[in-house]
Structure formats: C-alpha cells, structure tokens
Amino acid sequence: MRARRLRSKGVGSCAAFCREGLSAVNASRDVAFSAADAALLPFFRARCGGRLRVVVRTSSRNFAVLLFDEVELLDVASLMQVTSSAGQRYNYRPFRLLPTARAPGLIETRSQLRIEAKHSLESCPPPELLFVPGGYGARRAAADADLIAFCQRVAPSAELIVAVGAGMALLGAAGLLDGATVAANAELVKWLAPGLPSTRFDERESVVASLGGKLLTAASSGCGVELGLAVVARCLGERTASALRASLGAPSVARLEPSPVTLTLPSR
C-alpha cells in the first residue's frame, strides 16, 4: 500500500496539515512524513495509537544539476549551496547532488572557473529533481538534441523540475513549459515568448511555482538563493526552509500590495 505523503506548509496551515494526516490514518492509509516534520509525530501518536504506521524518509533525493559550457556559475553555486546546507543541522543529507553533462569532466562557466560534471547523460542515476541553470551557453543547450532528449526522458518521473533564467529555454525546447507559468524579466519575455505561445510569463514574482507545484522557476541569477529555499520548502517543509533561511542570513521576502484605501486630500 502506498503511503499518504504529507507536506506541512508553515504554521498557518499546521491545523489543516494535522487534519489531513488524521484523515489518512482513519482511512487506514500509511502516513509518510519528511524528516523535517518529525516534530509532529507525538501529535499523531497521541490521537491514533496503534493505527498509526509512520514512514519517515531519511534517504537522499537524487538531484540532477544539468551542466553545459558557459553555464552561469552563480545559478549553479547558489542553488547547490542552499540545498546541500539543508540538512547540516541534523547531520542529514536530504539531496544527493548529481552534476551531469554530455560527458563527465570539467565544464567552463562564464566566470573563469570550471565545474566538474560527475555523470554523463547516460550514467546519471534516475533523478527525482532536475535543475537547469541559465547562462549564455543555455542558448546553445536549447538546440542540443541530446540535452533536450535527457530532459524529456527524466521529467515525467521527476518530483520537481527547477530552472533559472535562460535555462527555461531548454525546458521550453523539450516541451516541458506547455501550459506553465514561469518567472521572467523583460529580456526573457522578449526572447522566449514568441516561441512558447502556451507559456505565461510572470514579471512580478522572482520565483514562481507552476504545473501543480512540479515546476519551480526563477527569473534571474540573483534569485538563486530564494529558488533554493523554495526547493527546500517544497521537499522538506516550511519549517526547515525557515531555519535554513535564518542560518544563511537570507532576508525574508515580502511583496508590497496596492492598498485599497483611498486618501482624500482637503481642498484649499
């Protein structure tokens, strides 16, 4: 029997999260928690007794990081740093990072540094998460039949697909952005919109979730830390992401909304 997989979404929805879990137990389904939600186990045990069969995932998720020449170093480094730091507080590695390219070896970046790809497209273990960074080289990558085929092959079974900036061009070429909403800036919209008529471009948000939460996109390299935190929240829960944000010293992001209040100035 497959476990009922739950994800908490922060303190505000904790009650709904607990109600969903109790409903699953009452229906005789297993309840799968992430390690980040272990603090809720006493709540369920007190109310469900012997009916509770808990499955806590402690194994690492395979996280493929697709590399190509002239990839943007900041895209790669920021997301890999954030996700690799997610479990350090508990001496736990929630993500197994898999730098992957056409062939193993050193990859040139736009920053005069090189990154080592450990896996080829053929030898990469089946990824549960796929990350496509941007950079000037993403334009050529979007025309590379082997990279396109790799994305098309691994995407259906992936839990999460992640992209930054120009990396979305490769996902678009693979047909993975049809019907999606993606984060974008004006430059990206001008470049990508003509070739992706069924994709909506959001210029207001720096990080956007779409396709039922399976797709996470960031508009530019400067959003890499926020994107990494969004990945952690999606896979491990908001509490873990909030703790990681604090340890990284990353500021909370708040967006100002227009006020509905109308001010009337007195006449002279």
Query: Of 11-15, 25-29, 174-178, 235-239, which gets the smallest average pLDDT?
Result: 11-15
pTM of the model: 0.77
pLDDT at residue 222 in the model: 92
Mean pLDDT over 132-142 rounds to 95
Contact assessment for residue 92 and residue 107, using Cβ atoms and an 8 Å cutoff: no
pLDDT at residue 71 in the model: 97
Between residues 24 and 111, which one has the greater pLDDT?
111
Given a cut of 60, whether residue 164 has pLDDT beyond it is yes
Q: What is the pLDDT of residues 77-128, one digit of tens each?
A: 999 999 999 988 777 899 999 999 999 999 999 898 999 999 999 999 999 9
pLDDT at residue 34 in the model: 52
Q: Would you state the structure tokens that stand for residue 9, as one six-digit string?
A: 């979404």
Contact assessment for residue 227 and residue 207, using Cβ atoms and an 8 Å cutoff: yes
Query: Of 28-32, 64-68, 72-76, 237-241, which gets the smallest average pLDDT?
Result: 28-32
